[in-house]
Structure 1
Amino acid sequence: MNGELVGTWTVERGTHVFRYEAAWKKSSRCRSLSLSLPLTGAKEIKGDLVRNYFDNLLPDSEKIRQRLGRRFKTPTAEVFDLLEAIGRDCVGAVQLLPPGESPEDWKRVECEHLSEQDIVDLLQAVPSELTPEGMEDDDLFRISMAGAQEKTALTRWQGAWCRPHGATPSTHIFKLPLGLIGGSRRVDASDSVQNEWLCAKILEALGLPMASTSMETFGEQTVLIVERFDREWQDDGTWIARLPQEDFCQALGFAPSQKYEAEGGPGMAKCLQLLQGSRDKDDPAFFLLTQLTFFLLAATDGHAKNFSIYLEQGDHYRMTPLHDVLSMWPYFGDAPSQFKRHRAGLAMTLRSKNPHKYFHTIEARHWRQLALKNGGPAVWEAMQALVEGVDDALHEVQTQLPPNFPERTWTAISTGMKSEANRFMSEAEGLPPA
């Protein structure tokens, strides 16, 4: 982490093993690599907890993993082999290097300015097994980012987009459009960049901390650019620190294949239990308000890997800003190439007296019961205030829409949100005082 050796990860007879360095335990910046891999306790940590932590650093998509394996000619597409090849710039502060090797010049910026054509070539190469001419085996591609979407990362430096070299970290993630989603249903999500940008602006307008996003076009390719909240400029912009963080799957010891509650992963109760230990006492309420906003946005992908915490000295922690929010409103309908709304729901089931997963079955009284159980009347009042602010938030965001913003995306999301907000407020009026 930021030039200091934290520990050693090995695979011994098929078992994943992690050992903390003695010097790290004495460091002024000491903290656990993960809440699931605590510093105190055994000399070494073995088994699935170790494997799961590192597995969560890789892209979720098996297709992307296989392609990375072919690109870097790894012996297998297993976690250790892939991260040995691409683990030099991971999410959070982790850098994975061979034994005996340390990051050089990590307290300075080493970057190469890219032309627009360079970036066009780079983006075209992201979903392929090839790298642009002249960029073979470059640091640029030895970057590991979790998630299911095609993406790459660059560094913003001296007013230009740059290719980071050596120990210099990336500062921004470039996300490409999803294209067709939904398996055999083949739903057109080619507007996913605009959709995710719009969701981010709506969340910001509603007062929820959100990763800073922008849209930019290179050649004919529009991408979503997300400023990394796990990076921070230091000493008047002379170097970039990596901020330790992990997603909820890592913190709770789950494999990435369990990111959804329906697949055995964490639900709201497990996440709220984690956040009871947060240094920020408002984090549990923030989490619940986020779930309510997902309901209004018809955002179905709020799984455990899309929530993260900063890891601070002494194993204190707090939630990071939100990221990766996509509304399904533009993709609902009765056509074969659309999703059925009555079958869509939250990634984490809302449990009041009974479980409620599907959007159309969730009512204001269920949110009230959830709020009163997890924070009391103040959380319920915050929920009502958030919903009452939807119209103003949408009006604010509408003034920020760039020219040629897709009408379908704006109309579907804004109309859908208003409809659900009105339903919520109508139902809430008939409820007894908290």
Structure 2
Amino acid sequence: MTPRELQVWWDARLVGTLSQQDGRLGFVYAAPWLESATARPLSMSLPLRAEIFDDRAARPFFAGLLPEGAMRASIARMLHISARNDFALLDRLGGECAGAVTLLEPGQTPAEEATFTRDGGEGGEEGERVRWLDDAALLQLMEELPRRPLLAGEAGVRLSLAGAQDKLPVVVWEGRIGLPLHGTASTHILKPAIAGVEGSVCNEWFCMTLAARLKLHTAAVQVHRVAGRALLLVTRYDRQRLANGTIHRLHQEDFCQALGVPPEYKYQNEGGPDAAQCFSLLRQATRPSAPHLLALLDAMLFNALLGNHDAHAKNFSLLYAAQGAVLAPLYDVLCTAVYPELTDRMAMKIGGRYVFEDVMPRHWERFATASGLSAAQLKKRLATLAARLPVLAETLVAETIQQGETHAILTPILEELHRRCALTRARLERGA
């Protein structure tokens, strides 16, 4: 059977070729890329080499670019392809992915970076690279998303994002929102409310804003209202807006991709990465590592105290900046503990325990030891965050109410945060 091929581009440079033969993927770097003095690996799990990477090595990175779960199955049904066919999905969706990756058929080349003018138009090709949306058109797209995730199959649209939640990459420029077409880089991600998860937009906005108040490095978020409907608008940290109006892609990969773990195994209880592996990855990828290790620790402590049980390895990423790899800003933070229908098990263990209420000081010590951290310093930082978070959260809720943006979900989030922080402080004090 003749192999099918897609060329893999990093910005405007050809990195290599992704192939499929007998249902299995293969990836090989292009010789000119390997010979270049500026060549970098596409992934920590795909080091530079001339030999081909087989399915087992290649699949985690490339499958990690695709949507997951019911969203993936829905797209596959709509496009009349198998939900297990990573190659076919990348062929149809891989024009605008996370990071700097674009996948194209052999002979095609990526579109030039779009340059936007002050009035929101695209320089030289007005209307061809972005479909600007008024409120009615935007609402219509939001209504279509559950039936047609990522607008798969629409002419000129090849968009892919990991995760199982409905979302849409968009271009935001001078107050206007548009749909990127023909390989144009998006600048933001628009997330509607999650079906069956009450107040998810307000919940994620609050949690992300609270993280920023705590001085954690987070993706910028805001609530965007259209005809009374709340949407979460997230600024993409893997896009850079240059002074000349050009949107430039920055490469990134999540921790599962970097560790060579397929996306369906992202949870630790399914064989996915644990905290120790995440800290080890950062030590390997970043120089100097200390600030990134501390940032990851803060993020993990924050998720635990907040009640974000879905903080798995695909919700942490490496961002490849000019100075090298860095820990990407925090994203996808939601207090899941306030929803009784969602699991109370954390995505990663803390010292051998999945349930927060079972975590004692000795478990935090085990967590620190396994992760190569100082147990004393970890507990000191945990106590500090447990003391500061309730105060910051109370202030943020008061400001939200004053601005008229409040939602009923904030009350149980605040109660859960107070409870977890009080429990943690009491146990740390007894342990001391």
Same structural fold, with TM-score higher than 0.5 when normalized by the shorter chain: yes
Q: Would the aligned equivalents of 2:172 and 2:187 in 1 still touch at CA under 8 Å?
A: yes
Cα distance in 1, alignment partners of residues 244 and 80 from structure 2: 36
Post-superposition offset of 1:42: 4.1
Measured after TM superposition, the shift of residue 405 of structure 1 is: 1.8
2: CA distance between counterparts of 1:79 and 1:42? 23
Q: CA separation of 1:59/1:286 partners in 2, compared to 1, >3 Å: closer, same or farther?
A: same
Among candidates 355, 363, 371, match of residue 366 of structure 1: 363
Q: Within 2, Cα distance between the matches of 1:156 and 1:34?
A: 29
Is residue 415 of structure 1 aligned with residue 404 of structure 2? Answer: no
Determine whether 1:66 maps to 2:73: yes
Letter in 1 for 2:249: R
Q: 1:224 to 1:29 in 2, by over 3 A?
A: farther
Look up the match of 2:3.
none
Count of aligned positions: 405
AA aligned to 2:335 is S
**Native 8 Å contact 1:294 1:346 kept in 2:** no
**Residue in 2 that maps onto 1:425:** 425
Say whether residues 1:375 and 2:370 are aligned partners.
no
Matches within 5 A, 1:182-331: 189-234=197-242, 236-277=243-284, 278-279=286-287, 280-312=289-321, 316-331=324-339
Q: Work out the CA distance in 2 between the residues paired with 1:364 and 1:76.
A: 44
1:144 alignment partner, one of 153, 160, 163: 160
Indicate yes or no: 2:176 matched with 1:160.
yes
Deviation by residue 1:10-40 (Cα, 9 ceiling, x = unmatched): 012333111111222244542111110111x
Does the 8 Å CA contact 1:285/1:379 hold for their aligned counterparts? no
Matched AA of 2:132:
H
CA drift at 1:136: 7.1
Q: What SS class does the counterpart of residue 230 from structure 2 fall into? A: strand
Contact 2:115–2:244 (Cα < 8 Å) also in 1: no
Contact kept in structure 1, 2:346 and 2:354, CA below 8 Å: yes
What is residue 4 of structure 2 aligned with on the other side? none
Structure 1 contact 113–162 (Cα < 8 Å) conserved = yes
**Alpha carbons 1:171, 1:231 under 8 Å: kept:** yes
Q: Is the 8 A contact 2:149 2:166 kept in 1?
A: no
Identify unmatched segments of 5+ residues in structure 2: 1-9, 117-128
- Confirm or deny that 1:6 pairs with 2:41: no
**1:413 partner letter:** I
- In the alignment, does 2:56 pair up with 1:48? yes
**TM-score scaled by length of structure 1:** 0.87
CA displacement at 1:97 relative to structure 2? 0.7
Change (3 A) 1:149 1:387: same
- Distance change in 2, residues 1:72/1:418 (3 Å): same
Q: 1:28 to 1:213 in 2, by over 3 A?
A: farther
- Structure 2 Cα separation of the partners of residues 92 and 324 of structure 1: 16
State how 1:352-363 maps to structure 2 within 5 Å.
355-363=352-360
Relative to the length of structure 2, the TM-score reads 0.87
Report if the CA contact (8 A) 1:365-1:427 is conserved. Answer: no
Q: Equivalent residue of 1:193, what SS? A: helix
CA contact (8 A) 2:91 2:104 kept: yes
Give the CA RMSD over aligned residues: 2.3
Residue correspondence of structure 1 range 85-96 to structure 2 within 5 A: 85-96=92-103
Q: What are the Cα deviations for residues 240-299 of structure 1, in whole angstroms up to 9, with x where unaligned?
A: 111110011100001111000011111111111111122242222322222222221111
- Per the TM alignment, residue 302 of structure 1 is displaced from its structure 2 partner at its CA by 0.7
Contact 2:79 2:153 (C-alpha < 8 Å) held by counterparts: no
- For 2:378 and 2:426, the matched residues in 1 are separated by 19
Identity %: 30
